Structure formats: C-alpha cells, structure tokens
Structure 1
Amino acid sequence: MIAAVAENNALGKNNELVWHLPNDFKRFKTLTSGHHIIMGRKTFESFPKPLPNRTHIVISRQEDYQPEGCFVVDSMEKAIEICPKNETTYIIGGGEIYYLGLPFTDKIEITRVHESFDADAFFPEINLEEWDKTTSEFNKKDEKHLFDYSYDTYLRK
C-alpha cells in the first residue's frame, strides 16, 4: 500500500486531496512506476488521465465500467489475482479500497502529513501489534510544502 495520510487518518474530501506536497507526488511516481496499481473507481476518476508507466486495476461494482487501458474487476481478490506474483503491486486507494486491501498487504508506505483535516475518506488505523515501523524520514514544511510530513514504512510482523 501507498498513501498520504493526515494525523487523523484523513485521505481526502470530495474525491480530492486536501493538501499539496510536490515531493510526495515525486515519491509516489518513483515507487509505483513500472508496477501494477490497484485502486477504486473514484480514485481512478480523480486522475486527469491514466498514470503513465503503470498497469491500472480498477475495482468497481459498475458492471459496464471499462475505462480504456485498464483492467476492471469487482473485488480485491480478483485485483490481486491479475497482478504478477513475484513483483511489487501497490494499492493506492481510496479509503474503502485500503480497508479491503489491508489483509493482503505486507508493506505500507505512508506519507504522514503532520496536520489534521476535515475529510470524508480515511485510511484504516495501523495496529502496531501487527506492524513494525522500519523507517521514518521527517521533512519540514517549506515554500512548496505547507505542512511538515514524514515518509514512514511499515512491515507486517
């Protein structure tokens, strides 16, 4: 999994991020490029176009939903079946998809935005009895980043 998450586990509101962190976008691109990415329909539709150099798998309950260049399935299990077994696959959201994907996840890449936000989509709580934080890199706010943030990596115990 990969996500940008506020202190109150907020992901976004009205199908949009509620912060702008250019370095996080660069990190997301670097980590996910060349990989399969699993997302919900609303997350996919929040992009202006499919993300380059990635295989898109969209989970949707809409039977006739078929955006060009994407695999569309109706469950997390089917999404995972499509992905190569010995390669990294990223679950990229939104909120419901993160909840569905958590049992299948062995690594979580979180950009923790050190602020709380009003939101309508949230990341699941990380149970520290099940996960170890293996790395954390703090970044101070600056002229391009309005909030302090950290890159945190969690591995399933």
Structure 2
Amino acid sequence: MTKRVVMVAAVARNRVIGNGPDIPWRIPGEQAEFKRLTTGHVLVMGRATYESIGRPLPGRTTIVLTRDPSWSPSRLAGSHLRTGADGVLVAHSLTDALAQAALLPGDVIVAGGAQVYAEAIGLASEQVISEVPLEPEGDAFYPEIDPAVWEEVGREPFDGYERVTWLRRERLAG
C-alpha cells in the first residue's frame, strides 16, 4: 500500500517560509492547526528544521533528513535544544525517509524546510498550505505550485491566514 505524502507549510505571499532558524510571523492558532493536521502521522523534515523546533513533537514520529552520516538527535543533548529523541529516526535521503515511513502508521507529512519541500513536491499527492497575507524578508522559500499539476480543492479562512488544500491533478483523475 502506498502512503499519502502530504506537504504542510505556512507560506507568505512572497513564498517565504523562514528566515534563518525562525518563522518570520506569529499567528495565534496556526501552530495548533499544524498540530491537529499532523498528530498521529509521520513527519519528515530536514535537520535544520528539526533543530529549530528543538525537540520531537508529541504524538508524531519524526524522520530527520540529513546529509551528515554522524548526526543523531541524541547529539543535541547539552545544546540549547531539549534532550530526548524518542520517536525520532534519521534518514540520509528522501527515498530512505519514505521507506522508513512506509513501515509506520499514518500518512507521511513533509514539514520542511525549503530543500525538503523542493525534493518532495514531485512525490506528494496533497498540499495543505496556510497562506499568510504578509511579505516578510526571508531566506527559505516554498516551491512554486504549478496549476497544471495541482488543483485547489479547498480554501478555509482562519484568523490571520487561509488554509488551502491542493490535490495533484493525476490523483483527481484516478
């Protein structure tokens, strides 16, 4: 059985998703919505994204993508990050991460950063985007959503952002 691969992101009008280790906005309720969407699933994220969060997120297994063969979540002990890496696995490629996720319950939720989103967009079947009506400075960008490949199937207003759901067109046809 093939798992659903869903990309979840908060994206500004200028496609900014981050600035260094920070998200350049604070929108009350948006992170709670991220938690609701992702709990019970497998999060796939890059090392820098994981380190910016600083800990495993409860109720989710996290697979951290890194090119560093010696990196492990336990090596974060003693740093500014919280210790404890229960529910955190390491992968050295997106293919490896997806193979690990196939053995775990829940959908695969791609949760950043920019390089991981860019690599995963060709494999994803769905995108859930929190559209943030700002144009902040940033150094990490979400990939373009090609309307020839993706169809908007839902838009829901929230306080300070809109959540937009996109499905891959070939999935809609099947």
Q: TM-score, normalised by structure 2?
A: 0.83
Select the residue among 122, 138, 147 that pairs with 2:157.
Answer: 138
Kindly report which structure 2 residues correspond to 1:1-150, keeping only aligned pairs within 5 A, or say none.
1-67=7-73, 68-69=85-86, 70-84=88-102, 87-140=106-159, 148-150=160-162
| Moved >3 Å (runs of 4+) | none
Name the residue aligned to 1:153: 165
Superposed CA offset, 1:109-155 (max 9, x none): 00000111110000000001100100101234xxxxxxx31100000
**Identity over aligned pairs, percent:** 33
Q: Secondary structure at the match of 1:46?
A: helix
- Tell me how far apart the structure 1 counterparts of residues 27 and 96 of structure 2 sit (CA, whole Å): 32
Where structure 2 has 5 or more consecutive residues not aligned to the other structure, the ranges are: 1-6, 74-84, 170-174
Give, in whole Å, the separation in 1 of the partners of 2:106 and 2:149.
Answer: 23
Letter in 1 for 2:113: G
| Alignment partners' CA distance in 2, 1:2 and 1:47 | 15
Equivalent position amino acid for 1:74 in 2: H
Shift of 1:84: 2.8
Counting matched residue pairs gives 150
Task: Point out where structure 1 has 5 or more consecutive residues left out of the alignment.
Answer: 141-147
Counterpart residue type for residue 77 of structure 1? T
Q: What's the CA shift string for 1:2-55, capped at 9, x where partnerless?
A: 000000100010111000112111110011011100000000001132110110
Q: What is the identity, as a one-letter code, of the residue corresponding to 2:95? A: E
